[in-house]
Homo-oligomer: A and B are copies of this chain.
């Protein structure tokens, strides 16, 4: 049982930031990071365009709404622009979800689903994690 005690999270995979003006945020983070974005992807089903910056082993994801009905547009209307979620990396998302479920934390996704770059992802409810929308990511192997 001792091995169960160690952390199952390997690090912060990324922080997601909801922005009102994607291109001006890209310009600012290009300056802050001292480097151009590493990836850009438009997820039409979610109404979001994602621009990623690498920062050491982690990433910054800038999230721009592609329409007024987008979840990101709705987030900005109710909370304002800024930090949207934090994602933690694990090498075994099924085990991690099992542990947090057993501990009584509330899940948004009961089972992992496919995320960006063929990762497996699941979200925890902010009510269980200090008001923070929290994502668990198992990167593609």
Which residues of A are interface residues toward B (Cβ below 8 A)? 4-12, 15, 17-20, 25, 28-29, 31-35, 54-58, 62, 79-83, 86, 88-89, 99-100, 103-105, 124, 126, 128-132, 134
Contacts and interface: CB of A to CB of B under 8 A. Distances in A.
Nearest to A89: B56
Task: Count identical subunits in the complex.
Answer: 2
Given A56-B9, A99-B34, A15 B17 contact: no
A32 B105 contact: yes
Contact of A28 (B6, B55, B130): B130
A15 to B, nearest CB: 5
A81 B131 contact: yes
Contacts of A4: 34
Contacts of A15: 12, 15, 83, 86
Contacts of A6: 34-35
A13 B19 CA distance: 22
Given A7-B35, A10-B55, A56-B89, 20 more contacts: A4-B34, A7-B34, A7-B54, A9-B32, A9-B34, A9-B56, A11-B56, A12-B58, A15-B86, A17-B130, A18-B130, A31-B104, A32-B103, A32-B105, A32-B124, A55-B88, A81-B130, A82-B83, A82-B130, A82-B132
A34 to B, nearest CB: 4
